[in-house]
Chains A and B, each alone.
Chain A
Amino acid sequence: MNALANGVGDIVRFENVGMRYRLGAEVLHDVSFSLPAGSFHFLTGPSGAGKSSLMRLMYLAHRPSRGSISMFGRDVSTVPRTELAALRRRIGVVFQDFRLIDHLSALDNVALPLRVAGAKEGQIRNHVAELLKWVGLESQIDDKPTTLSGGEQQRVAIARAVIARPQILLADEPTGNVDDDIAIRLMYLLEELNKIGTTVVVATHNESLIERFKHPCFHVEDGLLSGPGVGVRNDRDPGGDQ
């Protein structure tokens, strides 16, 4: 179909994207790739390579300094500000540093995307409690993030990212603070979301996860992206410090 050939079926499409922070040097150069709807990708690369920066572009936190980005088939540079908020609601993000709100309980943190989207309060609590139970935090529902362990915070962050059923889930090191058992459990959660149609990108250093869950893998190094559909396929790089 012509539409697919044009990349309309792609949820994310980058063309020759460059990125810099303020007036600094470029941290990403000539990044071109696309993610078909419903795909599952890993994103690897050494520390400081630009994984989180690439994520930032995808969750619409940052404008590219050159090139073009399309999300859900829309050229981001032409989307009016008010509609950007609506686009962001279709994107779930697990931030590398969680970014939970300290004065809100786990429940209220997870409820945020629903509130922001204007969901009715009556529907929020049960829905959120159910998801927190799913990630194994049913007894910490009313706890503040500061009283949770790193791994528990990470699970709250994941729950918050998926609560509103995003079309694409961007998880930046979502298993960085948990032991392998929980990491695998969380990966199964992400896979389950993927099975019901969510496009997933997981940035990770965890080689065993990449090996266990056989998904295509992008690699960033020195601000350059390689991977499926990006020039020569670069099967996973040992990545050094694992």
Chain B
Amino acid sequence: MSGARFRRLAETGRPRVAITVDGAPVEAMQGDTLMTAILTARGRLRVSEFGDGPRAGFCLMGACQDCWVRLEDGRRLRACTTFAEAGMAILTGAEEGADAF
């Protein structure tokens, strides 16, 4: 998997929030959107259902809907407008089974 995509430029003194991405622990910060939390540690949010590769969001303002991520508990959240919360377990890989896409 590719490395981090987003780069933090400031505000790095915030309290940490522990989440997991594809099973691995990731340290996010309070006030991070899920998108920031994931993309400061990884290179993608999800994999296109059409086989055209990974996606990492586009508009960051809740318009394009290309950043919905899947949680292990079955929830689906729009990563650019949802704040990260401790304990969230995110899956970014291609999906199988009835709950895919």
A, B co-complexed? no
